[in-house]
Amino acid sequence: MRSRDGNRTSTLSIFKLILFFYSLTLSASEYLISYRYVVKDAILFNEKLDISKSMHKCLGNPLTPLILENDGNHNLIEIISQNEEEFSSYLHQLGLNVKHSEFNLNNQNSSTTVLTLKTTCFKVDFNDNFVRIAPLK
């Protein structure tokens, strides 16, 4: 595009550059993830992982991200199920609330341990070869 005096204006190229960087920030989605793990008498009783797309923009700074391999898939639930052990150990590193109870009835011990990650907003960036998941704090 040329201006009236014949010089090229860089307005269009600057606009394209701003649009490019803005689209990079838009490609990162925000998800709400909660996790609950219940062990009763040393046996896994229940494990529940809830993932939903955030309806509002989450505020906060991203912490250290987890990077999982991806084959171009944009379904977070499928990606996490393929890398379940790695994601589970990452959640344990974030810090889980632990509740433990024990009781004895007729000389039989019974215990219950509940590990919980309260609902946390995660910023998820999908790329062709990997997915970057970072909790916001």
Along the 137 residues of the chain, how does pLDDT read in single tens digits? 455 555 555 554 554 444 444 444 445 789 999 999 999 998 999 999 999 999 989 999 999 999 999 888 888 999 999 999 999 999 989 889 999 999 998 889 999 999 999 999 999 999 888 999 999 98
Task: Tell whether 7 is covered by a domain.
Answer: no
* Cα–Cα distance measured from residue 7 to residue 83, given in angstroms and rounded to the nearest whole number: 54
Q: How many domains does the chain have?
A: 1
Is 12 part of any domain?
no
- Which tens digit of pLDDT belongs to each residue from 29-41? 899 999 999 999 9
- Per-residue CA distances from 104 to 21, 22, 76, 112, 118 (Å): 61, 60, 42, 12, 30
Domain contains 9: no
* CB atoms inside a 10 Å sphere around CB 59: 7
Range of the domain at 100: 29-135
Residue 86 lies in a domain: yes
17 within domain boundaries: no
